[in-house]
């Protein structure tokens, strides 16, 4: 498949909705996306309707146009294999907490030394610069904290209500794919990569306001 991102290689170390939606968008635009899964697989494999075990419809949709590899990052040899993939990549997307990545030697500073042109994109719940840094999050939490659930309830004259889809994941995923595309554009001028943070909470607060 060709597209505007043909020739761009993306290493996707993300699960569930936000990160995979961002990388699916990049893949739809022609990027070569390699999804890295742990030995047990992305837990989203088991969500929704499925004809075959571990191949749920939401997972298949969010991970189309991707290649796949299984790596156990607790194993030093398999972690080195991931580093070799990142050395050759244009983009690295993850939703692992930054503290965990640092312990694995996958922080931006160390990866940028190996690959200065790398676009490094963290997609997780809360900004590292904010008051909730490091806390876990999923879609319902972000819909509630961002005011989206309250807004949804107010529009029907009732109590707060969740939007009937993983809207926080999807909105933040689109923001991540846009940010990555802009970073790739900037790299064409500067020749340098950069680190990007796309936190669900801060992104959805801005979106809701």
Query: What local confidence, expressed as pLDDT, does residue 108 receive?
Result: 97
Q: List, for the chain, all residue ranges whose pLDDT scores fall below the cut of 70.
A: 1
Kindly name the residue from 12, 90, 139, 169 that is annotated as catalytic: 169
pLDDT at residue 194, rounded to an integer: 98
Give the pLDDT score at 156. Answer: 84
CA-wise closest residue to 76 among 96, 104, 95, 101: 104
Q: Is residue 35 classed exposed, middle or buried when 0-12, 13-18 and 19+ CB atoms within 10 A define those classes?
A: buried
**Which pLDDT score, from 0 to 100, does residue 148 have?**
95
Give the per-residue pLDDT at 1: 62
Q: What is the pLDDT of residue 45?
A: 87
Six-digit token pair at 1?
């498949």
Tell the burial category of 109 from Cβ atoms under 10 Å away from its Cβ (0-12, 13-18, 19+): exposed
Question: Is 169 considered catalytic here?
Answer: yes
d(CA 190, CA 127): 26
Tokens representing 17? 């909705």
pTM: 0.94
The pLDDT score that the predictor gives to residue 54 is 84
pLDDT for 107 equals: 96
Amino acid 8: pLDDT? 98
- In this structure, the number of other CB atoms found within 10 A of the CB of residue 129 comes to 9
Query: What's the confidence (pLDDT) of residue 47?
Result: 87
The answer to whether residues 202 and 127 touch, using CB atoms and an 8 Å cutoff, is yes
């Amino acid at each position: 498949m060709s597209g505007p991102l043909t020739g761009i290689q993306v290493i996707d170390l993300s699960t569930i909705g936000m990160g995979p939606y961002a990388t699916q968008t990049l893949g739809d635009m022609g990027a070569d996306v390699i999804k890295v899964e742990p030995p047990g697989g992305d837990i989203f494999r088991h969500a929704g309707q499925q004809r075959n075990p571990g191949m749920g419809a939401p997972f298949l949709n969010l991970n189309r146009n991707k290649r796949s590899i299984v790596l156990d990052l607790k194993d030093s040899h398999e972690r080195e294999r991931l580093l070799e993939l990142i050395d050759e990549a244009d983009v690295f997307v993850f939703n692992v907490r930054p503290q965990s990545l640092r312990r694995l030697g996958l922080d931006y500073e160390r990866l940028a030394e190996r690959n200065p042109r790398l676009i490094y994109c963290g997609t997780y719940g809360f900004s590292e610069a904010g008051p909730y840094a490091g806390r876990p999050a999923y879609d319902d939490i972000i819909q509630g904290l961002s005011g989206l659930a309250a807004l949804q309830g107010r529009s029907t004259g009732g109590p707060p209500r969740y939007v009937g889809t993983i809207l926080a994941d999807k909105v933040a995923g689109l923001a991540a794919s846009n940010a990555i595309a802009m970073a790739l554009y900037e790299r064409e001028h500067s020749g340098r990569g950069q680190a990007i943070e796309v936190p669900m909470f801060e992104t959805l607060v801005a979106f809701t306001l």
